[in-house]
Structure 1
Amino acid sequence: MSVQGTILVLDGVSTNRIMLKVQLTAAWYHVVQGEKLAGLGALLRRTRPDLVLTAQTLPDGTAADVKKVLAADPALADVPVVAITPQNDRAARLQALSDGLDDVLGYPFKDTLLLARVRSLLRSRADRQELSIRDSSQTMGFGEAVQTPIAPPAIAQIALLTQTPRTGALWCKALTPQTRHQLSYFTLPDLQGVLSGPAPDAIVIELEPSEAGGNVLADLRSRGATRNTVLIGVLPHDDANRAAEALDKGADAICLGGFHPDEISLRLETLITRKTRDDRLRASIRKDLSESLTDPLTGLHNRRFAMRALDQIAHQALETGSGFAVMLADLDHFKAINDRFGHAGGDIVLTEAALRLQSAIGNAGFVARIGGEEFMIGLPRCSAAQALKQADIICESICEKPFCLPDDSTLTSVTISIGVKWCAPPDLRTNDSRNAVSQLIRSADQALYAAKNAGRNQVHLRNSAA
């Protein structure tokens, strides 16, 4: 997206194009003009617009054809397309929505409504682009992600939020034959009813006669549970100023002229499909983030997580004045296990040891596998004595019960050596936090070597200054 935002205006009538350019340029958008479908592909590739405003009918095509050209280019498939229809041409409006266009504006329209719709669509696209960038496996070096069609959920949950229960019941009755989704209705004073359970996929809100509807839009958009919920506002009149205000408060779409179930159902289908795609992108990002901080074999945290967590523990210790400990633990004679049982047997030992370590630590701190048979444990808010006690519990959890390995008639005993470095906040103030934490880890590593040199299967503590 360009700094200004590039908007492509398509219309066979030059005066219409000029009028739109004047309106948009005055709001500091970069405007590109076209008049027909022919040559559109080359124009799109050259200008890379962030949004397209197109007449419903072009000299050689329609707004639906424009949408198809954009959809054929993966780099432009998410560019919003708004159709401009003749005034009060409801059939053209419904046709445009049925064709999957992002919105429809009836000509003539006020600058306030046009610019609010542009702002809303550009915000939405910017959010989707950010999701796509974060989710791109190519940027992480894994090649091109596999593209699969995204369909809306079989049944979405739609909440109707109206001024009175009677209006809600009427809307529900009118919309039920038009949609396959599950409907429920609430009154605006009963917003808690909407928020008490799982967040709906979409909420249709009556914006007049009171101001409550507009305030609810802003409220819903700011809440974590409903931040990504589709919000559609309904206004009883063609009030461009109120519509613009609602869009700026977070509405995804505005239906002017009252509740029309056919229009609502078409908007719901398009917006819920988009939401489903975005939700899957968010889930993919969360999964990738989790995997980037997780050891794939044991399910424990990895070194990257451990370093960040330890740095955070150190900062908290400076703020609270409490001590903390870092431990490095190493399974004893692990090479002999690999030599005897192979790497498959070694993996079984590592996995079982990870379970025992995690069980021993519980919620007291974190456990991470930082390489081979080596683990790091971080314990916030503890004394040196508490750290030693916890390390003894870890040792006991490993050696108290033999490990069961394949192709072996007997159980195999495994032990662990642990180096503990306990730190008080004054130790951290002598250096910057990064160097201090690195020094703590070196101290724990020295303690681990001391434990191994002393005969293994034991704990060694270092509590000198970092």
Structure 2
Amino acid sequence: MSVQVTILVLDGVSTNRIMLKVQLTAAWYHVVQGEKIDGLLSLVRRTQPDLVLTAQTLPDGTAADVKKVIATVPGLEDVPVVAIAAQNDRDARLRALKDGLDDVLTHPFKDALLLARIRSLLRAHAIRQDLQVGTGAQPIGFGEPAPAIIRPPKSAKVSVLTHAVQTGVLWQKALSDQRQHTLSWHLQSNLQGFLSGAVPDAIVVELGPHPSDLNILADLRSRGVTRNTVLIGVLKDNDAVQASEALDRGADAVCLGGFCAQEIQLRLDNQIARKARLDHMRISLKKGLADSWVDPLTGLHNRRFAMRALDQIARESARTKRGFAVMLADLDHFKTINDDHGHASGDHVLTQAAERLRSALGPRGFVARIGGEEFMIGVPDVSPKQAVRLAETLCGSICSAPFQLSEQGPEVNVTVSIGLKMSLDAFPGRDSLTPHVETLIQSADKALYSAKKAGRNQVSIRQSAA
């Protein structure tokens, strides 16, 4: 597979396409060309572009039509589409932003600005790709599909950073007249005070000739609290070099030619909507990753977590030379509960057993459900006497009171058998921890079998690792 980024260039004028191809190929981008909307769908499916540069007007449509076609292709819904407008055509630029285009470039544009904008958009696109899997928009590894549309908050928090008080007041007033965002303004000289307040969804930054203005963008992008905040830079003139620097320092968008409330508001709307989608994906991903360590029925950790946790406990034990305990617990005659009362009742018993074990264990170590009615308990920094006492407490928590078979249903007595193995005098090196942990689990399993064989409802201690 090629490591080159593919850029689709659409323009009805062949010389425009050739000029863009020369510029982009020199920067080691793979360029695919097209002339019109007709045939675009098959071209996009075949080439799978990472970004699209399109003339504002094509022989049979507009840049907005291109955006709509791209959005119909699975996996390409969020591919950036940039319109190229005529020189000094502010109305065309505003119209393109209103149509949802990711950005607008106007002729003639310098190579530096073109490439900086492409880099910025590709970085943003890569972030979304990292938060999804395959060709869909579904968060990694989880069954429920993502909603088709994630709407931005009706009233986002927007901050304005300017050099002078008067500029801040004027910009805040002009933006307030455009939309009902919660707006505030701050002086760039008081960046420390600004960062100590609530984190905004977007920041509009006045960019002057001083290098410190660009440093503010880099600073905001590097901080954890503002890393995902929308950053929009405003340049007084059409300095393409400074605009390129601003994009490479972390700006999501740059407004050239001075403050234009309508353009800034359109860019805010587009960028805040994109941020809302990414924030939703991050939340879904974090939840999914957390769920991958949790048993969905009982809310306990699962086997995957248990093995990682035991490995960490073993490493800490090897460092401190203090022992730890591994226990395997199995509910006695659980199959009978399922057979006599149904699996729903069995699930109800499992959730209650999980809560009793978790409560009895307290904050020390972990308890995980690793099988149907089988649980694993790991306890760090514990003596043999403490471990036995804890195992007996766990055993007693199960048989101390009957279990309800449903919310208002009958009750049943349940007991548990526990196999215990201590790790005391064997502290292997870092490279041999995994087999050591597996040996301890096998020993705890043999102890559990002994507890079952001896009559159940008791704790059995494995004295050797064999």
TM-score (norm 2): 0.91
2:42 is the alignment partner of 1:48: no
- The verdict on how the C-alpha distance between 1:273 and 1:394 changes in structure 2, with shifts beyond 3 A counting, is same
Query: Hey, what does 2:206 align to over in structure 1?
Result: 206
- The verdict on how the C-alpha distance between 1:295 and 1:141 changes in structure 2, with shifts beyond 3 A counting, is closer
8 Å CA contact 1:318–1:425 kept in 2: the answer is no
Structure 1's unaligned 5+ residue stretches are: none
8 Å CA contact 1:188–1:212 kept in 2: the answer is no
Task: Identify which range, 146-155 or 24-33, moves more after superposition.
Answer: 146-155
Alpha-carbon distance between aligned partners in 2 of 1:430 and 1:203, rounded to the nearest angstrom: 48
Query: Hey, what does 1:396 align to over in structure 2?
Result: 396
Query: Hey, what does 1:65 align to over in structure 2?
Result: 65
Query: Hey, what does 2:133 align to over in structure 1?
Result: 133
Q: What's the offset of the Cα at 1:100?
A: 0.7
Alpha-carbon distance between aligned partners in 1 of 2:398 and 2:451, rounded to the nearest angstrom: 16
Query: Hey, what does 1:180 align to over in structure 2?
Result: 180
Query: Hey, what does 2:369 align to over in structure 1?
Result: 369
Counterpart residue type for residue 175 of structure 2: L
Alpha-carbon distance between aligned partners in 2 of 1:322 and 1:120, rounded to the nearest angstrom: 52
Alpha-carbon distance between aligned partners in 2 of 1:201 and 1:373, rounded to the nearest angstrom: 47
Query: Hey, what does 1:85 align to over in structure 2?
Result: 85
8 Å CA contact 2:132–2:139 kept in 1: the answer is no
- The verdict on how the C-alpha distance between 1:374 and 1:262 changes in structure 2, with shifts beyond 3 A counting, is same
Query: Hey, what does 2:279 align to over in structure 1?
Result: 279
The within-5 A match list for 1:76-225 is: 76-133=76-133, 145=145, 148-196=148-196, 198-225=198-225
**Deviation per CA, 1:118-170, whole angstroms, max 9, x where unpaired?**
1111111122122221776698596x946522322222222222234443222
8 Å CA contact 1:159–1:194 kept in 2: the answer is no
8 Å CA contact 1:384–1:463 kept in 2: the answer is no
**What is the aligned residue count?**
465
The within-5 A match list for 1:375-390 is: 375-390=375-390
**Deviation per CA, 1:277-319, whole angstroms, max 9, x where unpaired?**
1222222222322332221211111112212222232233334
Query: Hey, what does 1:28 align to over in structure 2?
Result: 28
Query: Hey, what does 1:447 align to over in structure 2?
Result: 447
The within-5 A match list for 1:296-315 is: 296-315=296-315
- The verdict on how the C-alpha distance between 1:460 and 1:168 changes in structure 2, with shifts beyond 3 A counting, is farther
Task: Identify which range, 30-39 or 230-239, moves more after superposition.
Answer: 30-39
Task: Identify which range, 289-298 or 24-33, moves more after superposition.
Answer: 289-298
Q: What's the offset of the Cα at 1:369?
A: 0.7
Q: What's the offset of the Cα at 1:406?
A: 4.5
Query: Hey, what does 2:330 align to over in structure 1?
Result: 330
Counterpart residue type for residue 295 of structure 2: D
- The verdict on how the C-alpha distance between 1:102 and 1:358 changes in structure 2, with shifts beyond 3 A counting, is same
Matched residue of 1:160: which SS?
Answer: strand
Alpha-carbon distance between aligned partners in 1 of 2:415 and 2:395, rounded to the nearest angstrom: 7
Query: Hey, what does 1:251 align to over in structure 2?
Result: 251
8 Å CA contact 2:237–2:258 kept in 1: the answer is yes
Alpha-carbon distance between aligned partners in 2 of 1:464 and 1:430, rounded to the nearest angstrom: 22
Alpha-carbon distance between aligned partners in 2 of 1:325 and 1:347, rounded to the nearest angstrom: 28
Q: Percent identity between the aligned chains?
A: 63
8 Å CA contact 2:233–2:251 kept in 1: the answer is yes
Query: Hey, what does 2:356 align to over in structure 1?
Result: 356
8 Å CA contact 2:131–2:282 kept in 1: the answer is yes
Q: What's the offset of the Cα at 1:247?
A: 1.1
Counterpart residue type for residue 103 of structure 1: D
8 Å CA contact 2:45–2:73 kept in 1: the answer is no
**Deviation per CA, 1:62-82, whole angstroms, max 9, x where unpaired?**
211221221222332222111
Alpha-carbon distance between aligned partners in 2 of 1:39 and 1:71, rounded to the nearest angstrom: 15
Counterpart residue type for residue 373 of structure 2: E
8 Å CA contact 1:427–1:465 kept in 2: the answer is no
Alpha-carbon distance between aligned partners in 1 of 2:394 and 2:137, rounded to the nearest angstrom: 40
CA RMSD in angstroms comes to 2.7
Alpha-carbon distance between aligned partners in 2 of 1:44 and 1:349, rounded to the nearest angstrom: 55
**Deviation per CA, 1:57-102, whole angstroms, max 9, x where unpaired?**
2233221122122122233222211111222211111111111110
8 Å CA contact 2:419–2:446 kept in 1: the answer is yes
8 Å CA contact 2:131–2:139 kept in 1: the answer is no
The within-5 A match list for 1:408-423 is: 412-423=412-423
The within-5 A match list for 1:231-270 is: 231-270=231-270
Counterpart residue type for residue 358 of structure 1: R
8 Å CA contact 2:233–2:254 kept in 1: the answer is yes
Matched residue of 1:371: which SS?
Answer: coil
Alpha-carbon distance between aligned partners in 2 of 1:460 and 1:348, rounded to the nearest angstrom: 27
- The verdict on how the C-alpha distance between 1:323 and 1:237 changes in structure 2, with shifts beyond 3 A counting, is farther
Counterpart residue type for residue 113 of structure 2: L
Query: Hey, what does 2:39 align to over in structure 1?
Result: 39
Alpha-carbon distance between aligned partners in 2 of 1:407 and 1:264, rounded to the nearest angstrom: 57
TM-score (norm 1): 0.91
Task: Identify which range, 271-280 or 446-455, moves more after superposition.
Answer: 446-455
- The verdict on how the C-alpha distance between 1:365 and 1:44 changes in structure 2, with shifts beyond 3 A counting, is same
Q: What's the offset of the Cα at 1:33?
A: 2.0
**Deviation per CA, 1:203-230, whole angstroms, max 9, x where unpaired?**
2222325433322322222233322221
Alpha-carbon distance between aligned partners in 2 of 1:430 and 1:204, rounded to the nearest angstrom: 51
8 Å CA contact 2:139–2:281 kept in 1: the answer is no
Alpha-carbon distance between aligned partners in 2 of 1:272 and 1:64, rounded to the nearest angstrom: 19
- The verdict on how the C-alpha distance between 1:389 and 1:25 changes in structure 2, with shifts beyond 3 A counting, is same
Alpha-carbon distance between aligned partners in 2 of 1:394 and 1:40, rounded to the nearest angstrom: 66
- The verdict on how the C-alpha distance between 1:28 and 1:138 changes in structure 2, with shifts beyond 3 A counting, is same
Q: What's the offset of the Cα at 1:117?
A: 0.6
Counterpart residue type for residue 190 of structure 1: N
